[in-house]
């Protein structure tokens, strides 16, 4: 099956590039409210499931034990831009559990945020593991291991109790079996299991509504959502789609981007969860398709963002990024 074109990039009179992909939107009862493209083929959710990977941090009692509040919980769910704010808070999380940057297993990379990268260069410093966009998630994993008396060494390995606990939560939340045959490794070295988009959409519908969740899990999910809406700047950073949308629509839209063109999210008041993947893995298309879905229900007038590639270096618009007619048709038929 060839996925449909979701996003088109025009220049002058022509469509210059296009992005195929698939999207699933599920409602609280698990039924598909929208499906376009192949929503059955498994994909790696990558960072889009960080909020679910953070559940053990709360459910084990580790977050409360170490006095982690909304900021720390938001950072555990974040793909952050590596600003001074993000790195300082993650360093403080590590200090509170008696560890430091060296305990992290995520590896260093330049801050995702342009301003943060510039500031780091200007100060002639190299990026540390704190700058890794996943450092908050890793600090949360270390906190859980320490609280439960597990070794912190190798906490990122697939057979470590920290990863097995996360795997168990994902199996419960998704209702599908997840074994070694569907396991790859994320850029930050932790395991990432493939799932169909339809499964991911149902998982985020449950996440949005609490439908079918045990009372303790419902409380943990609500705490995670509240933390992300309270601190949207910690989830990603300035100029990022997730931060902008969650700042505009707290309580109404939860969004989380993942690498290779993945996006997942939840619309609590509509009772919907969604998951999409762009075949080619590009961010401009994943964010564009996500914004088209968000604006279908909550017209923010933000457009599809990521417009850099359709402007000249003098700032003149010479093209556009838009939803395809097929995608617009599908969105129009979406029952909210």
From 301, 314, 332, 335, residue interacting with a copy of itself (rule: CB under 8 A): 314
From 31, 92, 151, 185, residue interacting with a copy of itself (rule: CB under 8 A): 185
Q: Does 30 bind a copy of itself (CB under 8 A)?
A: no
- Least separation in angstroms between residue 199's CB and a copy of itself is 15
- Least separation in angstroms between residue 164's CB and a copy of itself is 17
Inter-residue contact 297 to 266 (CB < 8 Å): no
From 2, 149, 215, 301, residue interacting with a copy of itself (rule: CB under 8 A): 2
Enumerate residues 241-260 that contact a copy of itself by CB under 8 A: 259-260
**Residue span binding a copy of itself (CB under 8 A) among the ranges 5-13, 51-59, 63-71, 208-216:** 5-13
Nearer to a copy of itself, 148 or 167 (CB): 167
Q: Does 124 bind a copy of itself (CB under 8 A)?
A: yes
**Interatomic CA distance for residues 6 and 82, integer angstroms:** 31
Q: Does 19 bind a copy of itself (CB under 8 A)?
A: yes
**Interatomic CA distance for residues 79 and 198, integer angstroms:** 23
Nearer to a copy of itself, 9 or 90 (CB): 9
Residue 142 CB-half CA count within 13 A: 25
**Interatomic CA distance for residues 319 and 312, integer angstroms:** 9
Q: Does 118 bind a copy of itself (CB under 8 A)?
A: yes
**Residue span binding a copy of itself (CB under 8 A) among the ranges 30-38, 60-68, 145-153, 277-285:** 277-285
**Interatomic CA distance for residues 308 and 39, integer angstroms:** 30
Nearer to a copy of itself, 14 or 332 (CB): 14
User: Which residues are CB-contacts of 65 (< 8 A; sequence separation ≥ 6)?
Assistant: 147
Nearer to a copy of itself, 169 or 321 (CB): 321
Q: Does 325 bind a copy of itself (CB under 8 A)?
A: no
**Interatomic CA distance for residues 274 and 282, integer angstroms:** 18
**Interatomic CA distance for residues 98 and 92, integer angstroms:** 10
Distances (CA, A) of 78 to 26, 44, 47: 24, 17, 8
Q: Does 316 bind a copy of itself (CB under 8 A)?
A: yes
Residue 250: count other Cβ atoms within 10 Å of its Cβ: 15
- How many angstroms separate the first and last alpha carbons of the chain? 28
**Interatomic CA distance for residues 14 and 24, integer angstroms:** 29
Q: Does 80 bind a copy of itself (CB under 8 A)?
A: no
Q: Does 320 bind a copy of itself (CB under 8 A)?
A: no
Which residue's structure tokens are 């009862």? 29
Interacting residue ranges for a copy of itself, rule: CB under 8 A: 2, 9, 11-14, 16-20, 42-44, 105-109, 117-118, 121-122, 124, 132, 181-189, 192, 194, 259-261, 278-282, 285, 309, 311-316, 318-319
């Amino acid at each position: 099956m060839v996925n449909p074109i979701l996003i088109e990039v025009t220049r002058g009179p022509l469509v210059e590039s296009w992005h195929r992909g698939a999207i699933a939107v599920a409602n609280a009862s698990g039924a598909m409210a929208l499906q376009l493209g192949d929503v059955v083929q498994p994909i790696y959710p990558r960072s889009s499931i960080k909020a679910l990977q953070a559940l053990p941090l709360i459910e084990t009692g580790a977050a409360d034990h170490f006095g982690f509040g909304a900021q720390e919980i938001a950072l555990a769910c974040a793909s952050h831009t590596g600003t001074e704010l993000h790195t300082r808070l993650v360093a403080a999380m590590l200090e509170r559990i008696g560890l430091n940057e060296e305990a992290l297993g995520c590896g260093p990379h330049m801050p995702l945020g342009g301003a943060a990268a510039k500031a780091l260069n200007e100060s002639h410093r190299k990026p540390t593991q704190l700058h890794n966009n996943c450092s908050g998630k890793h600090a949360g994993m270390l906190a859980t291991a320490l609280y439960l008396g597990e070794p912190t060494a190798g906490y990122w390995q697939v057979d470590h109790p920290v990863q097995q606990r996360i795997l168990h939560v994902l199996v419960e939340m998704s209702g599908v079996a997840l074994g070694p045959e569907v396991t790859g490794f994320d850029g930050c070295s932790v395991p990432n299991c493939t799932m169909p988009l339809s499964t991911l959409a149902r998982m985020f519908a449950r996440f949005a509504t609490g439908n079918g969740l045990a009372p303790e899990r419902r409380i943990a999910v609500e705490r995670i959502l509240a933390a992300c809406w309270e601190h949207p700047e910690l989830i990603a950073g300035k100029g990022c789609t997730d931060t902008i949308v969650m700042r505009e629509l707290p309580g109404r839209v939860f969004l989380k981007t993942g690498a290779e063109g993945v996006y997942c999210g939840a619309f609590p008041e509509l009772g919907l969860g969604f998951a999409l993947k762009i075949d080619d893995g590009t961010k401009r298309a994943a964010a564009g398709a996500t914004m088209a879905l968000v604006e279908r229900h909550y017209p923010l007038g933000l457009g599809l963002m990521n417009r850099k590639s359709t402007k000249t270096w003098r700032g003149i618009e010479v093209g556009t990024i838009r939803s395809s007619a097929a995608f617009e048709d599908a969105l129009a038929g979406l029952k909210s």
